[in-house]
Amino acid sequence: RRGVRVVPLQTGGRQERGLRCGTENVPGIIGLGAAAELLPTHLGHMDTRIRRLRDRFEARLRERLGDLRVNGAARDGGAERVPNTSNIGFAHLEAQAILLLLSEVGVCSSTGAACSTGSPDPSHVLMAMGQSREIAAGGLRFSLSVYTTEAEIDYALEAIPKAVEKMRELSPYYAAVDR
């Protein structure tokens, strides 16, 4: 609006009418352009590889643990998911407790949605997707990248079932639920 003074977050040069300081990062801009040109050539291959890792990760967890939910998985012709994210719901368990055990052995994960990490409440995203509170409270999000290796997936596949089984043994609620 006219008459409203916008205060820059950083001070310095007078570029862009004093709203942005410093000279443009020309090498960075050129590098970003070069990366953008390469992306169409490599994106399909990267997606396929990451999707294969994610699908193997989820299938092996199902084999080892049985009682879990892959949140967001396409069912009955449902929508595709992003290839690099796996959200697993462990019913009747607290994701924060599993997260702590995984952290102790070097497996990185998080609870809830990326936009609300750190909240102790069940994921509002999973609840909006129609998941039960029991599944949403036990939801862990695992992210993969082009740098994720088969060995890292294998390591996680050893650590996650151990952590989940330990929490299942310790949880009086899990033991009391008729599955």
108 has catalytic annotation: no
Encoded tokens for 18: 């004093």
Return contacts of 143-147, CB within 8 angstroms, 24+ apart: 143/84, 143/85, 143/86, 144/50, 144/53, 144/54, 144/57, 144/83, 144/84, 144/85, 144/86, 145/50, 145/84, 146/46, 146/49, 146/50
Name the nearest CA neighbour of 109 among 60, 50, 46, 57.
Answer: 57
Name the nearest CA neighbour of 88 among 55, 40, 41.
Answer: 55
Catalytic residue among 115, 130, 169, 178: 115
- Supply the residues annotated as catalytic: 115
